[in-house]
Amino acid sequence: MLLYLRLLKESFAFAMNALRNNKLRTMLSLLGVTIGIFSIIAVLAAVDSLDRKIKADLSTLDKNTIYLTSRSFGPSDIPRWKRDQFPKVNYEEYQYLKNSLNNVEDVCFQYFTLNQTLKYEANTVDNVNMVPVTAEFTDIQRMEFSSGRFFNESESNSGKQVVVLGHDIAESLFGNIDPIGKSIRMYGQEFNIIGITKKKGESMLGMGGGDDVSAFLPSNFLRRIYGDNNPKVSALIIIKPEKGIDIEALKGEITQKLRAFRGVKQGDIDNFFISVLSGFTDLIDSAIGQVRIGGILISILSFLVGGFGIANIMFVSVKERTSLIGIQKSLGAKNKFILLQFLFEAIILCLIGGIIGLFIVWLLAMLMTNVLEFEFVLGLNNIIIGTGLSAVVGLISGILPAISASKLDPVEAIRSGQ
């Protein structure tokens, strides 16, 4: 055992000495490995960060949340021209389902509408994402507030001119002033501010950039000025089921009740779409998985270039040190010693290149996190992957040169080196 440890130590010392004595060659060898490690770990870190951000955005919602719309969230077998004829979901259907559905915690009505300009005295914020909803929205979305509250059911039903501002919108309009109780102007009318949402950061899924840059108001205010069939608005109904219930059974109940309410004839297709959030998250997971695989395949090309570079340098190193190898073998060095000597050199080269690549990824992650306000994370698993891949590339790249060096005849090696 001590003999093998000594052999490893001496092989390692020879390898480090060879790297120090050929600094330019070492730097050129490191470049290929560094680029390879950087590319693959950067892709993995970016995809992991994106995945983490999307899951964080969805964490406030129950995966069994059901969305009832006239538009499909995903691919549909129904022709586009037929889907365009589907009637819009409306407020009366929301009320009907809210009062008739079993095994649900909340039912919410929401409009999608055009962005608006908000004004407070001389301050103006343009292109604000408007979220007209009913009072149940805050419970389904699990909203948090830095101050104030969400509008209640009475304010929602009456379409009262109250508004809840996202953190960034409130900051842009009021700065350090407390906005609660003050009025802003939008839709040509005055709205009283009753709440400010807690800072969440940019959303990857929000239609207008997330809660921070949104304004929430009672949907019935918009119904009063636009009506249900105005092209400026489209609606959906959000249904939050009770925990532990059969989602498919609930979807069947919704389908049955809405078909009856709309008078859809037996044999005709449903003229609405029911989507479950879990299906949406599965679609996202699948897409992210495909992006990850694509990025890895592209990065492997950089790895191959780096690996071939290391192998080429190692063959050159063997040729340059042929005479030294012959002398070592004539003095009793075994084939294992020569083999390990060159293997260590290749692996150390790749490990150093990998560490440099990981360091660059870390620096870029820190920089982009600060600049873009998006948290790029270099996880421990990616660090382990990067280090492991570096060692594997070094082992594969160095194995053939090391074997060729270990099999050299000492007499021929000394003679050819003269």
The model's pLDDT over 243-268, given as tens digits with 9 standing for 90+, comes to: 888 888 888 899 999 999 988 888 88
* Identity at 343, one-letter amino acid code: L
Instruction: Report CA dihedral (245, 248, 249, 253) to the nearest 10 degrees.
Output: 120
Residue 365 tokens, joined: 């992650």
Contact 310, 32 (CB under 8 A): yes
pLDDT at res. 117: 92
CA separation for the pair 217, 221 (Å, rounded)? 8
The model's pLDDT over 313-333, given as tens digits with 9 standing for 90+, comes to: 777 777 766 776 677 677 676
CA 77 to centroid of chain Cα atoms:
29
What are the CA-CA distances from residue 121 to residues 124, 125, 319, 400 (Å)?
Answer: 8, 11, 80, 76
Alpha helices in 105-189 (DSSP H): 137-141, 153-158, 167-174
* Identity at 377, one-letter amino acid code: V
The DSSP secondary-structure symbol of 150 reads -
Tokens 């440099």 locate to 356
Instruction: Compute φ and ψ for 160, nearest 5 degrees.
Output: -60, 145
CA separation for the pair 188, 228 (Å, rounded)? 20
CA separation for the pair 359, 364 (Å, rounded)? 9
Q: Taking the model in full, what pTM does it have?
A: 0.64
Contact 150, 143 (CB under 8 A): yes
CA separation for the pair 313, 328 (Å, rounded)? 21
Instruction: Compute φ and ψ for 188, nearest 5 degrees.
Output: 75, 15
Picking from 72, 45, 29, the residue whose alpha carbon sits closest to that of residue 386 is 45
Residue pLDDT tens, the chain, 418 long: 565 566 556 656 665 666 677 677 667 767 777 777 777 777 778 777 777 777 666 665 667 888 998 887 666 777 778 877 888 889 999 999 999 988 889 999 999 998 999 999 889 999 999 999 999 999 888 888 999 999 999 999 999 999 999 999 999 999 888 999 999 999 989 999 999 999 876 655 544 457 888 999 999 999 988 877 787 788 899 999 888 888 888 888 999 999 999 888 888 888 888 888 765 666 666 777 777 777 677 767 766 777 777 777 777 777 766 776 677 677 676 777 777 777 777 777 777 778 888 888 888 878 877 776 667 777 777 778 777 777 777 778 778 877 777 777 766 667 665 5
Contact 249, 64 (CB under 8 A): no
